[in-house]
Amino acid sequence: MIEVQRVSKVFHTEKGQRVLAVNDIQLEIDHQEFVCLVGPSGSGKSTLLRLMEGLIEPTEGQVRVLGEPVRGPRSDAAMVFQEYSLMPWRTVLDNVTFGLELRQVKRAEQKKQAMALLQRFGLQDFSQCLPYELSGGMKQRAAIARALAVSPKILYMDEPFGALDAYTRYQMQQDLIDYWVADKRTIVFVTHSVEEAVFLATRVILMSPHPGEIVADYAIDLPYPRNRWCDKFGAHFKEILQRLDEVSRQ
């Protein structure tokens, strides 16, 4: 479904230095996979995600989605960001309908679809609120609802729960997994938490920093819903964490 073919990305800092953010990435992601990109900061996971989404262009190589080269954001992919990305001047409902509005969907239909999603994420009573009235977790739920409103085949998530407290985070992970199990689509999820990755993903990709490269690729064949205290979970967790430790120490 997503093919990353020998992709490198060079950024130029303000002082004119060249920084190799990701180097020669080769990656294939299948339909309905839930892939987590894990790695220490500077390993280029967010950059890789943005390259796949088409927010930035690779310096070398190319990304193909469904066989077509990516040139800019695709209408069948959506993204959730770590920072709160709701438009602060729009109500929660109008934020969720934003993508549908851009697709010229009729207003009544927009509302119907958005309300169904808000219902799904427990936000139906907050549809007329402005984002500042919501808690951090609710904002991210709304942001996920907004991304899902355009019925994307691929959902990119860039540390979406990174700013949340531990309890809310668990809750959100559970809700996301429930959603994914019920309605499977391809998800690429960036996190620096190995635990989060093992809890969510069917496959964990480990990246190393300076330059960002893929160092390992783990299949997590545990059934959903997963629990964090079973031995198999622990084994995966330990294996990946050990490797992550080695990678960060280099």
Return residues touching other proteins (CB under 8 A). Answer: 53, 55, 72-73, 75, 77-79, 81, 83-85, 87-89, 98-99, 101-103, 130-132, 143, 146-147, 150, 156
Of residues 30 and 83, the one with the C-beta less far from other proteins: 83
The Cα 84–Cα 120 span in angstroms is 20
The Cα 21–Cα 89 span in angstroms is 34
Of residues 72 and 223, the one with the C-beta less far from other proteins: 72
- Do β-strands 2-12 and 60-65 pair in parallel, antiparallel, or remain unpaired? antiparallel
Q: Nearest distance from residue 176's CB to other proteins, in Å?
A: 18
Of residues 57 and 195, the one with the C-beta less far from other proteins: 57
Q: Nearest distance from residue 48's CB to other proteins, in Å?
A: 15
Q: Nearest distance from residue 168's CB to other proteins, in Å?
A: 17
Of residues 75 and 242, the one with the C-beta less far from other proteins: 75
- Three-class HEC string of 62-99: EEEECCEECCCCCCCEEEECCCCCCCCCCCHHHHHCHH
The Cα 218–Cα 198 span in angstroms is 10
- Distances, alpha carbon 33 to alpha carbons 151, 191, 199, 203, in Å: 16, 16, 14, 7
The answer to whether the peptide bond before residue 131 is cis (omega within 30 degrees of 0) is: no
Q: Nearest distance from residue 122's CB to other proteins, in Å?
A: 21
Of residues 133 and 246, the one with the C-beta less far from other proteins: 133
Of residues 78 and 164, the one with the C-beta less far from other proteins: 78
Q: Nearest distance from residue 148's CB to other proteins, in Å?
A: 11
Q: Nearest distance from residue 237's CB to other proteins, in Å?
A: 31
- Do β-strands 18-29 and 34-38 pair in parallel, antiparallel, or remain unpaired? unpaired
